[in-house]
Amino acid sequence: MFVPPSRSSKIDGAEPPGVTTEEAQARLAQEGPNVLPSEKEPGFFMALLPTLRLTANYSEASFRDPVL
């Protein structure tokens, strides 16, 4: 959930300790709004595919009858 900087001081834990509202606003202006990693780095999820395939293969194999 995105909290505008003007309201963030009212919510506990909205900003890391030691970060002022001005610093947070400057960082937001520099980085832009929150975006998914896939929008910034298209290869991010592609790098995870081998791991996801291994996990899927392992779970499928665990339900098969053991080969004797």
51: domain range?
Answer: 37-68
Are residues 48 and 22 part of one domain? no
Q: Tell me: do 23 and 7 sit in the same domain.
A: yes
- Number of structural domains (the chain) is 2
Query: If DSSP codes are grouped into helix, strand and coil, which group holds residue 31?
Result: helix
Residues 29 and 3 in one domain: yes
pLDDT in tens, 16-58: 566 677 777 777 777 666 655 555 566 666 776 766 666 655 5
- Does the pTM surpass 0.85? The reply is no
Same domain, 57 and 68: yes
Phi, psi of 7 (to 5 degrees): -100, -10
Judge contact between 21 and 8, C-beta under 8 A. Answer: yes
Q: Are residues 21 and 44 in the same domain?
A: no
pLDDT average, residue stretch 1-29 = 63
| Chain mean position to CA 16 | 17
Residue 13 pLDDT class (50, 70, 90 cuts) = low
Say whether pLDDT at 12 is over 60. no
